[in-house]
Structure 1
Amino acid sequence: MAGDSKYGLSSTAGADVFEALANIELVVTDCDGTLLYTDKALGQPAIDAVRRLQAAGVRFTAASSRPGKGMRHIVEALGIDMAYASYNGGSLVEPGTWKLLSSHKLPRDVVQTSLDTLAAAGVDAWVFIDDAWYLTNPDATYVPLETRTVGYEGVRVARFDDLDLDAVDKIVGSTADTALLTRVETGLQQQLHGRGHAARSQTYYLDVTSIDANKGTAVRELARLANVPLERVAVLGDMGNDVPMFEIAGVSIVMGQASDAVRRQASLVSTSNDDDGFAIGIEAIVAARAGG
């Protein structure tokens, strides 16, 4: 029955899920709010846990809402040697060469609908094309945070219409008014149904990506590349944009600070990201594989 606990994790799916940990061959993790602390730092407990996981023969990679370039320092720090997913699964990137293996661009009509909706709601919009980040308001609340997160500055433009809007990978709406962003998220999901995907990657960020760009699709492709069946894949996350990968992986571990709605979609619950919930989840897999 649900409510069982082991390895510092609690189960929402019964005790059998702990046995599944011993069979994990591939781990895919979200970055912000999961692998990283809230201040965007990569902690030593996470680094040590990933090293032990890799030493145990388990493949490891990441799937993030970030652009590929904004994930490079994480990939290098953790010795990731297989493809990783950026833009919520919209692109797959090869480490080292940083070659783009695949990408899913937003249809032009989805781009226009999203930008118009964000503007009407008074929500700051950013446009990402390849690894470039474009913005019209450099004084927006979350520009300094995004600069620190991705590791480079956005490019100011007078208007987005001057860009190649047929080549957009992701649109982000950002605001400190999280209640407003929740309403905008719901409205955009309805407007873009069947045409695009809208989901928050943070409480203050709303990501719009291709209908084919989601972390579930990314995990499916990463598992295929690693030749690992989905039932032997474990994923870790904390937000609504992580739910698609929760739905297809054999084991899903959610961070403790996640909303109740997201927590219900995962099979195991860890502590918060700031309480090393990621490291606890990884160490559970290592321990289970060792017969602990």
Structure 2
Amino acid sequence: MKLIAIDMDGTLVNNNTTINEENVEAIKKAQKAGIHVVVATGRSFEEAVNPIEEAGLNLPIIAINGAQFRNKEGEIKNSITLSKETYYKVDELLNHYSMYYELYTNKGTYSNDLEMAIDIIVDIIKSANPEVTDSHAHKLADYRVKNGRIHYVEDYHDIVKDPEVEIYKLLSFSRNEKNRTDAMNDFLTFNDLAVSRSAEANLEITHRDAQKGIAVKNYADQLGIPMKEVMAIGDNYNDVSMFELAGISVAMGNAEEDIKRLCSFTTKTNDESGVAHAIHTFMRKIEVSK
């Protein structure tokens, strides 16, 4: 185990969306032992970096499901964008299925309906942490909107028409299961799209090369580390591309059963510092094998 890739929501962060001290200590122990650690998240860099820095960690970040890679200094080293031609087709389909979406760009994250912006993050929080109360999930989601991490815009096309804007991801949301399924089936006909989900009622739409697994492999290649020596830890379907490529795949205790069946090991829940438990478990195995 020479590289550990860790998801954030439902994995590295707890039910209060902060990082448990046990996880912090385990990551630092791994780093001290010469093991590289990278965060791989569906969040934008701006939303991901705060809890990481507040925990006293300094980590490279694969953001927006692999659409962007930033080094420890926060510098963009790679980005993978959707063409604007593809964006307009996706926009048309989402509108056809009456699906709300947020627009992730190099200029920030945008919403044309802030009430729906709160609903989408509540869905992510509740999917990752089913025991969290609705009121607490809404409090956390409300903070996300009010702290400026998401910007209101009346018409997304006003943003997209700017020639300097790069499109990274569309995070769509609908509680209508048929609409989500039909939209997913339509998106699967696009040759240049990857579609996954990080919660019950959303779809995450990126370029086909903007996937966590591809980004983790690219980083491992840069470090000269074979994927059989990579551990991936996550809890949801946007982590599957990591699980499929990593030599050690770890599902969180709070993950769905389908995710657990895909993985070689299941750790404790995110609120029980499951990341730390996984790191300690496999570091002990390394020590024993020596």
Structure 1 residue 146, shift from structure 2 partner: 5.2
Does the C-alpha gap of structure 1 residues 182 and 241 become closer, same or farther in structure 2, counting only changes over 3 Å?
Answer: same
Counterpart position of 2:131: none
| 1:26/1:59 contact within 8 Å kept | yes
* Farther off after superposition, 256-265 or 179-188: 179-188
Structure 1 residue 122: Cα displacement: 2.8
**SS state at 2:262 partner:** coil
After superposition, residues 136-155 of structure 1 pair within 5 angstroms as 136-140=112-116, 141-142=119-120, 145=140, 148=143, 152-155=148-151
Distance 1:86 1:242, change over 3 A: same
Instruction: Work out the number of aligned pairs and report it.
Output: 265
| Residues 269 and 170 (structure 1), Cα distance of their counterparts in 2 relative to 1, 3 Å cut | same
Instruction: Give the residue type in structure 2 aligned to 1:190.
Output: L
Do 1:231 and 1:249's aligned partners in 2 also have CA atoms closer than 8 Å?
A: yes
Corresponding residue for residue 211 of structure 1: 208
SS in structure 2 of the partner of residue 201 of structure 1: coil
Tell whether the 8 Å contact from 2:173 to 2:203 is kept in structure 1 after alignment.
yes
1:159 corresponds to which of 111, 130, 155: 155
Instruction: Map 1:1-292; keep pairs closer than 5 Å.
Output: 24-76=1-53, 77-81=55-59, 83-96=60-73, 98-130=74-106, 132-140=108-116, 141-142=119-120, 145=140, 148=143, 152-164=148-160, 167-175=166-174, 177=175, 179=177, 182-183=180-181, 186-192=184-190, 194-291=191-288
Distance 1:79 1:59 in 2: 13
Contact 1:88 1:213 in 2 (8 A): yes
Give the CA deviation at 1:266.
Answer: 1.2
CA distance in 2, matches of 1:287, 1:131: 43
* Structure 1 residues not aligned, in runs of 5+: 1-23
Q: Report which of the two has the higher share of helix.
A: 2
Q: Return the alpha-carbon distance in structure 2 between the equivalents of residues 66 and 127 of structure 1.
A: 12
Structure 2 CA distance for aligned equivalents of residues 273 and 91 of structure 1: 24
8 Å CA contact 2:144, 2:150 repeated in 1: no
The secondary structure found in structure 2 opposite 1:62 is strand
The answer for unaligned runs of 5 or more in structure 2 is: 122-137
**How far, CA to CA, are the matches of 1:52 and 1:289 in structure 2?**
13
Q: Kindly provide the CA deviation profile for residues 122-141 of structure 1, in whole angstroms up to 9, marking residues without a partner as x.
A: 32211011150111111222
Q: How far apart are the structure 1 equivalents of 2:160 and 2:209? A: 20
Q: Decide whether the 8 Å contact of 1:105 with 1:168 is kept in 2.
A: yes
2:167 partner amino acid: V
Secondary structure of the residue aligned to 1:247 is: helix
SS in 2 for 1:264: helix
Report deviation, 1:147. Answer: 6.2
CA 1:231/1:36 → structure 2, altered by over 3 Å: closer, same or farther? same
Query: Residues 268-292 of structure 1: CA distance to partner in whole angstroms, max 9, x if unpaired?
Result: 1112222322221111122222228
Q: What secondary structure does 1:41 align onto?
A: coil
Point out the more displaced range, 40-49 or 25-34.
40-49
Label 1:199 to 1:188 Cα distance change in 2 as closer, same or farther (>3 A): farther
Q: Which amino acid aligns with 1:79?
A: L
* Contact 2:195–2:203 under 8 Å retained in 1: yes
CA distance in 1, matches of 2:76, 2:36: 20
TM-score between both structures, scaled by the size of structure 1? 0.82
What is the percent sequence identity of the aligned residues?
A: 22
The Cα shift of 1:171 comes to: 0.6
Deviation at 1:215, TM superposition (A): 0.8
Letter matched to residue 232 of structure 2? V
- For 1:160-212, what per-residue CA distance to the aligned partner results, in whole angstroms no more than 9, with x for missing partners? 1111266211111134x2735752563344243x2211111222432111111
**Alpha-carbon distance in structure 1 between the residues aligned to 2:56 and 2:14:** 15
Give, in whole Å, the separation in 1 of the partners of 2:268 and 2:182. Answer: 29
Q: 1:237 and 1:268 mapped to 2: Cα distance?
A: 11
TM-score, normalised via structure 2 length = 0.83
The amino acid of 1:51's aligned partner reads K
Give the C-alpha shift of residue 159 in structure 1: 0.9
Take 1:50 and 1:219, find their aligned partners in 2: how far apart are those partners? 17
